[in-house]
């Protein structure tokens, strides 16, 4: 099977939208600090670009949860592979995610992070596939809603490949 990648959102479109969302976050958290939590590995590129454009003081931490194997379908299994380094007590926590699909990963993450007493807990995602939702999650900041297609690039992978593409592309398969 041959894999092909077709551009869905160009680098300029993505960067322009991240700038807008960062502006909105900076206004919403004016006079406060924001603690960004990157959900590894997919959200790494997005979090860096977002953090660079936020104008209030930012701190960061990283977490890794697994919900997918080397496949394009959710396994429904979510487990913490790497936990945060810092406690969340009293912090304005903003979870930064690459994509929300079924919502299982995020609903689980939110449930465990809420128990760590943050002052506030919000969610920011680069991409959302609303049609695919199984578990209900409130998304505070969404860069793009996309159709139900498997996408790669800007941190997102297919079997660990394509994360370094500077744009968001759709993967298709041919013989």
Residue 42 interacts with Mg ion (CB under 5 A): yes or no: yes
Name the active-site residue from 98, 101, 128, 157: 101
Active-site annotation holds for 101: yes
The site that binds Mg ion (CB under 5 A) totals a number of residues, namely 3
Q: Using CB atoms within 10 Å of the CB of residue 6, give its burial: 0 to 12 exposed, 13 to 18 middle, 19+ buried.
A: exposed
Draw the binding track, 102-141, toward ligand IMP (x: CB under 6 A; -: no contact). Answer: xxxx------------------------------------
CB 140 within 8 A of CB 92: no
- Nearer to Mg ion by C-beta: 39 or 95? 39
Beta bridge partners of 39: 63
Map tokens 């941190």 to a residue.
Answer: 155
Residue 42 interacts with ligand IMP (CB under 6 A): yes or no: yes
Question: Could you say which of Mg ion, ligand IMP, none residue 63 binds, taking C-beta under 5 to 8 angstroms by partner kind?
Answer: none
Distance set, CA 64 to CA 13, 14, 134, 169 (Å)? 27, 24, 21, 23
* Range in contact with Mg ion (rule: CB under 5 A) among 1-9, 73-81, 95-103, 145-153: 95-103
Residue 74 interacts with ligand IMP (CB under 6 A): yes or no: yes
- Cα–Cα distance between 137 and 170 in angstroms, integer? 24
- Cα–Cα distance between 167 and 6 in angstroms, integer? 10
The site that binds ligand IMP (CB under 6 A) totals a number of residues, namely 17
CB 24 within 8 A of CB 34: no
- Restricted to residues 79-98, the positions that interact with ligand IMP (CB under 6 A) are 97-98
- Cα–Cα distance between 94 and 164 in angstroms, integer? 24
- Nearer to ligand IMP by C-beta: 17 or 28? 17
**Which residue's Cβ lies closest to Mg ion?**
42
Dihedral, CA of residue 150, residue 135, residue 21 and residue 155, to nearest 10: -40
Task: Name the residues that contact ligand IMP, by CB under 6 A.
Answer: 42, 67-68, 74, 97-105, 150-152, 156
């Amino acid at each position: 099977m041959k894999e092909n990648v077709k551009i869905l959102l160009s680098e300029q479109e993505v960067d322009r939208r991240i700038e807008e969302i960062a502006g909105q976050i900076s206004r919403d958290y004016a006079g406060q600090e924001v603690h960004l939590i990157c959900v590894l590995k997919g959200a790494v590129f997005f979090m860096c670009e977002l953090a660079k454009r936020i104008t209030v003081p930012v701190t960061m931490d990283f977490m890794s949860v697994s919900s997918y194997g080397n496949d394009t379908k959710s396994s429904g299994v979510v487990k913490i592979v790497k936990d945060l380094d810092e406690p969340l007590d009293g912090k304005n926590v903003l979870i930064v995610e690459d994509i929300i699909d079924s919502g299982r990963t995020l609903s689980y993450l939110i449930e465990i992070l809420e128990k760590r007493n943050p002052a506030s807990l919000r969610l920011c995602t680069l991409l959302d596939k609303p049609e695919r939702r199984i578990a209900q999650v409130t998304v505070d900041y969404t860069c793009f809603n996309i159709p139900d297609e498997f996408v790669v690039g800007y941190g997102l992978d297919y079997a660990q490949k394509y994360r370094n593409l500077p744009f968001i592309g759709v993967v298709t398969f041919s013989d």
